[in-house]
Amino acid sequence: MSRPMNHRLMALAALLAMAALALLSLGMGAEGWQAPWRAWGDAGQRAIVLDIRAPRTLGAFLVGALLGLGGAVAQGLFRNPLAEPHLLGSASGAGLSMALALAAGPVLGWPAAWASAEGGAGLVARLGLTALAFLGALGGVALTLVLARGAAQTLRLLLAGVVVGVVLGALTQWLMLWSAEAWRAMQAFMLGNTALLGWPACALMAAVLALALALALALAPVLDALALGEDTARSLGVPLGLARGVLVGVLAAVTAAAVAQAGLVAFVGLVAPHLVRGLTRGRHRALLWAASAVGGVLMLLSDVLARGLLPPQELPVGVLTAVLGGGYLLWLLHRRPA
C-alpha cells in the first residue's frame, strides 16, 4: 500500500473515531447516554449540550491532541521512545504554582472556586488558577533550561528536567501538608479534570495547537535528521542549536496549555506516538499530525469512559488514561521477544 493511501486511511480512521466519540460525549449525562438531538426541543437540555457537553467534548480532544503532539516532539528531540511531554518540568511547575495559589487561597476563596464553576467569582478565580498553572509550567521549563545551560545538549537537558520534576514535585507535596482544604482542591488537578472546560479554554488550546503544529511540521526534517544521530544531522547542515530551542518552546507551550486546562493527564503523550509510528514509517511530518489526532481520540475516549462507567459518579480522567496507557505499554512489552 502506498504512503499517501496509508495517510488517507489514518486520517479517515481518526475522523470516524472522533465523530463516534463526539456523539457519545454529547449525549453522556448523569443518567447515562441519550441521543443529543432529542435535547433540541427543551431549552434547558439544549443549553446543557451546547454550553457544557460540547466544549467539554472539544476541550478533551484538544488536550489529548496537545499531549500527543508534545509526546511526538519529545521522543524525536531526545531520540528516546519513553520521552513524554511532562519531561522538562512543565507538569511539576504547574503543580507547584497551583499548590502555592491554593495554599494561600482561603483569603481569596480559590479552593472553593476550583471545585465549582458557578458564579462570576468562581469563573474569575478559575481563570486565575489556569493562568498561574500556565505560567508555572513555563517556569518549570525555564528552570530546566537554566540548569541545562540551554538546549544545546539533549542529555543534560533530559537530566535537568528529571531533577526539576522531582524537586518541584516534592515542594508541592510539602505545601499540601500544610492545608487540607488545598489538598482536596488539588486532587482534581493532580488526577486530571475535564469537567470545567469551556469555550474560552477551547479557543486558547486550539490557537496553541495550530501554532505549535505548524512550527513542529516545519521542523519535521530536523527531527528526521536527528533520528540519524547528531553528527549526521550536523553534516547535513542542520542548525541544531536554533532548532532545539524552537522545539523545546513548542514542547513547553503545548504541555503548559494542556496541563493548565485539564491538570495532570498521564500516558497520552507517551502512548499516542507509539500507536502511529509503525504506520508513518518514522517520517516525522506524518508522525506529528497523526500523534496529535490519536492523542485527541485517546483523551476523548478516556473522558467518555470516565463519565459512562459508573454513572452518575464520574471517575478522574487521569486515572483512565493511566490504566489504558499503562495496559497498552504492558501489552507491547509482553509481545516483544526478550
The answer to whether the beta carbons of residues 142 and 157 sit under 8 Å apart is no
**Does residue 187 register a pLDDT over 80?**
no
Average pLDDT, the chain: 82
Report helix, strand or coil for 109: coil
pLDDT at 282: 67
pLDDT at 44: 75
The residue with cell 502512548 is 271
**Does residue 202 register a pLDDT over 60?**
yes
Q: Give percent above pLDDT 90 in the chain.
A: 25
The C-alpha atoms of residue 301 and residue 181 are separated, in whole angstroms, by: 31
Q: pTM for this structure?
A: 0.87
**Does residue 203 register a pLDDT over 70?**
yes
Of 335, 257, 219, which is closest to residue 68 (Cα–Cα)? 257
Structure confidence at residue 178 as a pLDDT band (50, 70, 90): confident
The C-alpha atoms of residue 256 and residue 258 are separated, in whole angstroms, by: 6
**Does residue 7 register a pLDDT over 80?**
no
The C-alpha atoms of residue 134 and residue 149 are separated, in whole angstroms, by: 23
Q: Give percent above pLDDT 70 in the chain.
A: 85
pLDDT at 338: 52
The answer to whether the beta carbons of residues 67 and 85 sit under 8 Å apart is yes
Structure confidence at residue 70 as a pLDDT band (50, 70, 90): very high
Report helix, strand or coil for 77: helix
83 DSSP assignment: -
pLDDT at 30: 67
Structure confidence at residue 116 as a pLDDT band (50, 70, 90): very low
CA torsion angle for 257, 90, 322, 65 (degrees, to 10)? 30
191 DSSP assignment: T
More confident residue, 209 or 196: 209
Question: Sign (positive/negative) of CA torsion 211, 190, 137, 134?
Answer: positive
Domain 3-335: CATH architecture, name and number where available? Orthogonal Bundle (1.10)
Q: Which three cell numbers stand for residue 168?
A: 518541584
Tell me: the pLDDT tens digits for 213-238? 999 999 999 888 888 877 777 777 77
Question: Computed over its alpha carbons, how large is the radius of gyration of the chain?
Answer: 20
Residue range 86-101: mean pLDDT, rounded = 85
